[in-house]
Amino acid sequence: MKTSLLKFCQDKAWRKQFIRYWLLDPFWGGLDLMCHYSFRLMPLSVPQKIGAFLGELAGKYRFQKANQRAEHCLKLLKPDLSDADRAQLLLAMWRNIGRTMSEYSIADLLWKDGRVTTENADVIKRCREQKRPIIFVTAHLGNWEVISGYCIDNNLDSLSLYQPERNRFVTQLAEKSRKKLGTRTVAAGRQALRRMSQHLTQGHVVWLAIDEYKKGRVWGPLLGRDLDTRSSNAAYAVRLAQRHHAAIIPYRTERKPLSHFVVTFYEPLFVNNNADEIRSALDKQVESWVREHPEQWYMLHEFRS
């Protein structure tokens, strides 16, 4: 006890970790848990309004450094806009993040309520008729997880790759929410590729975001950066597609007014001896989505140039 108290007083890094693990994480995790079950009792539009309000507050007071990063990134993506217009996009980004967090509680209800529309889903039907495994590739836009409802309704056994949250309580809550969506999950790590490969071998579907955040960087789109992307999610997707003769189907989710979403599926990509070309095509595809709607990009505040 005396040793721990002495370490608490003298070791700043240990003290910070102790406070976060034993005080801050349980506090924020408990708050998220309370909101999660409360939101499911409300009309669907109410949690999103609450989320937008909380997201705006978080950007202004809690995540000031992240707010500065997002502001810098917007200058790269939208150099032609005025400072006032970029400020509006920045505000919309935080509101979108807040809405997305609130929607973990109600994502399954959004699909059942008919608030998610799909476009160009025939590309999936064609691949299934050819008995090809499918790899969905996406970015953290709008709410990328609402595709789960489509997978359930169309008997697609899907496995998604995810990055655990720093807060262990938030991670547990997110896993519970994904189970309600009917999606199997695998945490990013050494076993992830093996699990996804086994799933594709059985003719099922995997999906992963190629704008992942790890090792202090957002790995896609490159936006002119020179990064070694051989261990990125985009490289994993291409490698898996090559091994299993799978179709890579990009999709994006766009947030619309009144708590609606449009999920657009794009033409499938097939990997032969053109792995580098496919990776480049995927990166350019995601970049076009991000440039069109940077305020709906969840990774905007994490991006480092």
pLDDT digits (tens, 9 = 90+) for 160-218: 887 777 777 677 767 776 666 667 788 787 788 899 999 999 989 999 999 999 888 99
Cβ atoms 29, 170 nearer than 8 A: yes
How many domains does the structure of the chain reveal? Answer: 2
Q: How many residues does the chain have?
A: 305
Report the pLDDT value the prediction gives residue 294, as an integer from 0 to 100: 97
Of 143, 178, 150, 154, the residue nearest 261 (C-alpha): 143
User: Residue 298 domain-assigned?
Assistant: no
User: Residue 135 domain-assigned?
Assistant: yes
Give pTM, 2 decimals: 0.89
Q: Is the pLDDT of residue 137 over 70?
A: yes
Report the pLDDT value the prediction gives residue 114, as an integer from 0 to 100: 92
Report the pLDDT value the prediction gives residue 148, as an integer from 0 to 100: 86
| Interhelix angle 275-292/233-244, nearest 10 degrees | 130
CATH value at residue 277? 3.40.50
Does 160 lie in the same domain as 253? yes
Beta-strand pair 247-256/269-270? antiparallel
- Domain of 23, in residue numbers: 1-39
User: Residue 132 domain-assigned?
Assistant: yes
User: What is the pLDDT confidence band of residue 127, given thresholds at 50, 70 and 90?
Assistant: very high
Please write the tens of the pLDDT for every residue from 64-90.
Answer: 999 999 999 999 999 999 999 999 999
Please write the tens of the pLDDT for every residue from 12-63.
Answer: 777 788 788 888 878 877 877 787 778 888 898 898 999 999 999 999 888 9
User: Residue 186 domain-assigned?
Assistant: yes
User: What is the pLDDT confidence band of residue 5, given thresholds at 50, 70 and 90?
Assistant: low
Encoding tokens for residue 272? 């032969």
Please write the tens of the pLDDT for every residue from 254-277.
Answer: 999 888 999 999 999 999 889 999
Report the pLDDT value the prediction gives residue 73, as an integer from 0 to 100: 94
Torsion of CA 223, 225, 230, 233, to 10 degrees: -30
Report the pLDDT value the prediction gives residue 4, as an integer from 0 to 100: 61
User: Residue 299 domain-assigned?
Assistant: no
User: Residue 53 domain-assigned?
Assistant: no
Encoding tokens for residue 105? 């509680």
Does 238 lie in the same domain as 146? yes
Distance between CA atoms of residues 130 and 132, nearest Å: 5
Please write the tens of the pLDDT for every residue from 148-176.
Answer: 888 888 889 888 887 777 777 677 767 77
Q: Which residue has the higher pLDDT, 155 or 296?
A: 296
User: Residue 92 domain-assigned?
Assistant: no
